[in-house]
Amino acid sequence: MSLAGKEFESLKPFFEPKSIALIGASNNPGKPSGRPLHALINKGYKGKIYPVNPKYDSIFGIKCYPHLADIPGPVDLAVISVPAAGVYDALEQCVEKGIKAAVIFSSGFAETGPEGRLAQARITELARNSGLRLCGPNCLGVVNTRNGVMASFAFIVDIPDVDPRTVGFVTQSGAFGALIYAQALYSGVGLNYFVSVGNEADLEFADFLGYMAQDNNTRVLGGYLEGAKDGPKLRRVAEVAARLGKPIMIMKVGRSSAGARAASSHTGSLAGEDRIYDAFFKQTGIIRIDGPEELIAFVPMILAGRLPKGRNTALLTVSGGAGVTLADLSERLGLIISPLSESARSKMKAALPFFASAQNPIDLTSQYVTNPEMLVACFNALLEEDNIDIILGNFDLREPYGVEIARQVIDIYRSTDKTIVVCPWVFPGQDEGDGVRELRRAGVPVLLDTAQAVRALAHLVDYADFLRKRKSEEYRVPSISIQNYDSIRDLIKGKGTLSEGESKSLLAKFGIPVTRGGLAGSADEAVELARQIGYPVALKVDSPDIPHKTEAGAVFLNLASADEVRKAYAAILQNAGDYKPDARINGVLVQEMLPEGIEVIIGVTKDPVFGPTIMFGLGGIFVEVLKDVSFRVAPLSRGDALDMIKEIKGYQVLKGVRGRPPADIEALTSVIMKISTLATALKDQVKELDINPLVVYPEGKGVKVADAMVVIKE
């Protein structure tokens, strides 16, 4: 997908307007109605500014117009700061004037209750019918620091900008988003764009993020997200950003409040909202962060332009305790503290005092203060290590040696393509020193918080892995097509919960292996089916109203004779009738008894934001008690399916343990991909799906569905 066409152009007036009308403008720069005009002047906006308010002839020396229609020339962007009751009328005037975009500060809409929701629905309809694009209502507005567009009343418009301005930020929380913006600036991270989306009556979080992804000046995308409105749109934006190599870092809140939804399937009950967001972010390469500090720490690393080639990390410190602490955090976050070669250790030992450590983490000890040259020797030894991808240095750069050491580190940095990050010893309230400033000027990533540096490195490694993976054919999502749609439609038309037999028939139409068997309407038919299949067999009730057949006493296994089949047939009908007298019973399924294998569960649930979502896990206690499952949003690539399998803790069982052969991962991956095809092709019909269990046999022996349930949207 590209947003460079009509959709991209429709958002351009928010960021590149040649003229701005401020409806409801005032002469008080402390008010929401006055601050934007004041900021536009102070930040040097070069376009035309048109205050609109019949109370004034001029504001801040700029002519004020009584009505929007009185403005003599065209207007690209309107900023509306009038009471909620006057917003609709103001928007109608915008449409008449031919204005392309409007920012609505006014509150009093969907956030206030039913009446407010109705009022917001009116302006949404107006936007849809007219083509006028809206940001808000109930928002802080839009900022473009590159051209002085200050269509915002947030306090951030008064903060001096910081170069380089490479970060675009979108927020669903106005006040908190502004605080994040300010924190970034005060930490030396420059932003070019800021958008507070408010109630999202028209444009939403993903729309503005998509615009920034296509903007040549934006290198990193950040966001504060409470909940996406359109999951597929956010996925398309993430795909664009990944193709352009622009990381997206989102602070998604609401982890603790997300509960499992009530559902008849295991998948639905396990698919809490936050688990789906986590899976979606992994799948699309979006970096999930817990706070703005992670974004602030990440930016200098990504701007350095060096993506790590791997996870192997060397820690170079002047304190043994600091080294161990950093090593623990690094490995907890997925970095690898690699052993060093004998050659590298020998070179370092030659430069270090006997009581220092040439192991990884490397401890220079306090002797570094009197002999800082040992740092350079250790750096050079590490540069020669092929198995080291990242070097994190945690040392003192105070004078009298700070600048000289910094210059040597700069030379080292420029001599290699390894990822190098420096965390100098700077105490709170202390000037960071000329040596640190020298590193910053040279483009060496410098972070004062070692813990945040490690977190940022972990994010950088994950992002680099994601970019490498998505270049491979394995991570390309295949096109979805089904050949026998008419027969599929006839099978599910008008149904609610499908019986096991119907569910397996649906799965079989997508090429998924199911148990051999048939539906018996009498004991004689059951005996004949058992003869054809071959003993032993299993008998189960086939009813859409009894999804949990074992609880109903309507399952009999390992039946070895015609007499046993007849008795089981009668017992199943009796037990099913006692369990649920009004249940619809299609008959009794007679099926082959499957040999022992590893039982797994594969499911589909319909997430309200992201649509069809696939779940995978081991069966039995793993899913019931441990909830050891993984999720991905359909459609999947083959790589996504493999990631799902490898992600669960029970993957070790599938790899083969205690002399057992490895499971048929290829066949299992194939079934997950076919379920993805089914879920995508029937996304408007399938509400839930459970294959539980799918029995997986040793490598090369395939898989087979033992039981299944599909719920169709009625």
pLDDT of 2 reads 47
pLDDT of 176 reads 94
pLDDT of 508 reads 96
Does the residue 584 lie in any domain?
Answer: yes
Q: Check which CATH number belongs to the domain holding 313 and give it.
A: 3.40.50.261
Sequential DSSP letters for 405-432? HHHHHHHHHHT--SEEEE-----TTS--
pLDDT of 270 reads 53
CB 606 within 8 A of CB 688: yes
Does the residue 693 lie in any domain?
Answer: yes
Question: Mean pLDDT throughout 93-118?
Answer: 96
Among residues 552, 568, 592, the one where a domain terminates is 592
Question: Mean pLDDT throughout 394-421?
Answer: 93
**At residue 513, does pLDDT exceed 80?**
yes
pLDDT of 261 reads 43
More confident residue, 659 or 424: 424
d(CA 497, CA 544): 5
> Which of 253-267, 278-292, 596-610 is least confident?
253-267
Give residue for tokens 């615009």.
211
pLDDT of 605 reads 93
Q: Residue 649: CB partners within 8 Å, gap ≥ 6?
A: 626, 628
Q: What six digits make up the tokens of 40? A: 């536009």
107 and 234 assigned to the same domain: yes
573 and 612 assigned to the same domain: no
Give, as one character, the DSSP assignment of residue 227.
Answer: -
143 and 210 assigned to the same domain: yes
The 10s digit of each residue's pLDDT in 236-259 is 999 999 999 999 999 998 875 443
Percentage, residues of the chain above pLDDT 70: 97
pLDDT of 256 reads 57
Does the residue 508 lie in any domain?
Answer: no
Question: Mean pLDDT throughout 118-141?
Answer: 97
Burial 163-173 (b: 16+ CB within 10 A, else e): eebbbbbbbbb
Does the residue 488 lie in any domain?
Answer: no
323 and 463 assigned to the same domain: yes
Does the residue 277 lie in any domain?
Answer: no
Does the residue 264 lie in any domain?
Answer: no
> Which of 107-121, 261-275, 388-402 is least confident?
261-275
582 and 604 assigned to the same domain: no
Q: Check which CATH number belongs to the domain holding 180 and give it.
A: 3.40.50.720
Does the residue 116 lie in any domain?
Answer: yes
pLDDT of 507 reads 97
d(CA 273, CA 603): 16
The 10s digit of each residue's pLDDT in 700-709 is 999 999 999 9
69 and 165 assigned to the same domain: yes
**At residue 20, does pLDDT exceed 80?**
yes
Q: Check which CATH number belongs to the domain holding 540 and give it.
A: 3.30.1490.20
Rg of the chain's alpha carbons, rounded to an integer? Answer: 31
The 10s digit of each residue's pLDDT in 522-535 is 999 999 999 999 99
Give, as one character, the DSSP assignment of residue 252.
Answer: E
Question: Mean pLDDT throughout 311-336?
Answer: 96
Q: Is 70 exposed, middle or buried (0-12, 13-18, 19+ CB in 10 A)?
A: exposed
CB 395 within 8 A of CB 425: yes
**At residue 278, does pLDDT exceed 80?**
yes
CB 212 within 8 A of CB 218: yes
Domain span including residue 249: 6-253
pLDDT of 201 reads 97
pLDDT of 263 reads 41
Among residues 253, 270, 297, the one where a domain terminates is 253
545 and 604 assigned to the same domain: no
234 and 112 assigned to the same domain: yes
**At residue 490, does pLDDT exceed 90?**
no
Question: Mean pLDDT throughout 462-483?
Answer: 93
Most confident range, picked from 6-10, 69-73, 260-264: 69-73
Q: Looking at the DSSP assignment, which residues form a beta bridge with residue 538?
A: 591
Q: Looking at the DSSP assignment, which residues form a beta bridge with residue 530?
A: none
163 and 45 assigned to the same domain: yes
The 10s digit of each residue's pLDDT in 538-567 is 999 999 999 889 999 999 999 999 999 999
Among residues 470, 505, 527, the one where a domain terminates is 470
Strand order in the sheet with 287-288: 149-152, 141-144, 190-196, 165-171, 220-225, 248-252, 287-288
174 and 29 assigned to the same domain: yes
pLDDT of 611 reads 94
CB 78 within 8 A of CB 103: yes
pLDDT of 262 reads 39
The 10s digit of each residue's pLDDT in 357-399 is 999 999 999 888 888 889 999 999 999 999 999 999 999 998 8
**At residue 613, does pLDDT exceed 60?**
yes
154 vs 15, 24, 30, 243, 413, CA distance in Å? Answer: 17, 17, 10, 33, 40
Identify each DSSP E strand in 172-258 by its residue range.
Answer: 190-196, 220-225, 248-252
Number of domains comprising the chain: 4
Does the residue 11 lie in any domain?
Answer: yes
CB 48 within 8 A of CB 167: no
368 and 421 assigned to the same domain: yes
**At residue 352, does pLDDT exceed 80?**
yes
87 and 224 assigned to the same domain: yes
**At residue 460, does pLDDT exceed 80?**
yes
Question: Mean pLDDT throughout 607-617?
Answer: 95
Q: Check which CATH number belongs to the domain holding 626 and give it.
A: 3.30.470.20
